[in-house]
Amino acid sequence: MSDSTTETTDTFALDFSTTPSPERRAAAEREEILADPGFGKHFTDHMASVEWTIDDGWHNASIHPYGPLSLDPSASVLHYAQEIFEGMKAYRHADGSIWSFRPDANARRFARSARRLALPELPESVFVESIRQLVAADQDWVPSAPETSLYLRPFMIATEAFLGVRAAHAVQYHCIASPAGAYFTSGPKPVSIWLSTQYARAARGGTGAAKTGGNYAASLLPQQEAYEHGCQQVMFLDSEKGEYLEELGGMNVVLVRSDGTLVTPDSDSILEGITRDSILQLALDRGLRVERRAVSLTEWRDGVADGTITEAFACGTAAVVTPIAELRGDGFTIGSPTTGAGELTMSLREELTDIQYGRRADPHGWMVRLTDPTSSAE
Ligand SMILES: *Cc1c(COP(=O)(O)O)cnc(C)c1O
């Protein structure tokens, strides 16, 4: 497998070795965590890892105990942010089986992000296998209460010990897993969004379309500004004209017109969300119209004023769909804090989560089964 000339993305396969954790949490402790997991606070007993070097390609795939990484202080990720990640979920269905949602789409986006960050592309088959193996090892960590899941965080970092500025010759891929509670405990609450006019998250030709930590680092200060203005999220505009909607720090944005048409920004500097793509597909299935194009702030403001834009929502894996009550900026407000969750917004949200949790047919074959209903890691 070390002969990189034999690697092709479709057929490449690696065997994962497994080292069970000697410190697996007892069932009682695990159940206590799963009863109120929050988000991103607790991690399962294992993780998946694969190494890459320029000479040997991808090798050394393993499932092993969750724990700290050992990095040379000169590792390039720590200095030049050569890093990418993904976010996805494993869902437990009523019969106990565990499923993931469009993992092939996450694998392809991971490869696109890798290309932009000059990282090696992890073959789609290895990406999906790492998830399958990790979830198999830690399947008891997939909660079963409504709207809960096991959040999966695959990521790749440049680990070469070298301060020179070039793409690293040594890289590590890891995937960790964290049980996630229901994002909204009493149904989705419409949020207020702060419009950042001073800062952009991504520029034309930059890394906005890649899922990489640097984009998030750039969004943290404006996100703080949003909190200071009593808003929960920040909206970014295009960096050139400051006229067109881009997205939130970690969620895409969709506007709904009074005739049911969904309108969403098309731009080279936003992250192509799989949640958004899926919601738009469900809308098309209903015979609704979908427009992916430049959407100006003025269009939103005028549309809300004259009643042609009736709903707005943000979407992404973590919260699925979050209704937007209002957009606030320096000296203006679009919508109002009392704007409720839109009807179409909520019905598309329900349809998508019904598919993800196996409560409704899956007409597009999006769900991929990860484990057998009767199997157990014990
Ligand atoms: C991950 C992410 C999204 C949402 O993508 P999903 O695939 O729907 O989870 C949107 N915007 C940014 C910046 C992201 O990083």
Structural domains of the chain in order of their starting residue, each with its CATH number: 17-185+359-371 (3.30.470.10), 191-340 (3.20.10.10)
Mean pLDDT for 107-122 is 98
Give the pLDDT of residue 183.
79
Give the Å distances, CA to CA, from 31 to 153, 207, 373: 21, 40, 19
Can you name the residues that pair with 238 across neighbouring β-strands? none
Distance 105 CA to ligand 1 centre (A): 12
SS3 82: coil
Asked whether the predicted pLDDT for residue 137 surpasses 80, the reply is: yes
Q: Please check the confidence at residue 373 and state whether its pLDDT lies above 70.
A: no
Joined together, the tokens standing for residue 201 give 């998250």
Q: Given this model, what pLDDT does residue 46 score?
A: 98
State the pLDDT at residue 3: 45
- pLDDT for residue 371: 86
Of 313, 318, 321, 311, whose CA–CA distance to 351 is shortest?
Answer: 321
Confidence category of residue 272, pLDDT binned at 50, 70, 90: very high
- pLDDT, residue 7, reads 47
What's residue 375's pLDDT?
A: 57
Helices (H), 96-251: 103-116, 124-137, 213-228
* pLDDT reported for residue 374: 59
Global pTM reads 0.94
- Residues 252 and 316 sit within 8 Å (Cβ to Cβ): yes
Distance in Å, CA 64 to ligand 1 centroid: 28
- Given the CA of residue 278, which atom of ligand 1 is nearest to it? 8
Q: How far is CA 242 from CA 195, 196, 201, 266, in A?
A: 11, 10, 12, 15
Mean pLDDT calculated for residue range 12-21: 92
Residue nearest to ligand 1 atom 2, measured at CA: 250
Q: Which pLDDT does position 90 carry in this prediction?
A: 98
Residue range 190-204: mean pLDDT, rounded:
94
The pLDDT of residue 4: 45
Locate the ligand 1 atom nearest the alpha carbon of residue 247 and give its number.
Answer: 11
Atom 14 of ligand 1 has which residue's CA nearest to it? 250
Q: How far is the CA of 140 from the centre of ligand 1 (A)?
A: 27
Task: Give the angle subtended at the CA of 70 by the CAs of 68 and 74, to the nearest 5°.
Answer: 135
pLDDT of residue 11: 61
What separation in Å is there between the alpha carbon of 28 and the centre of ligand 1? Answer: 34
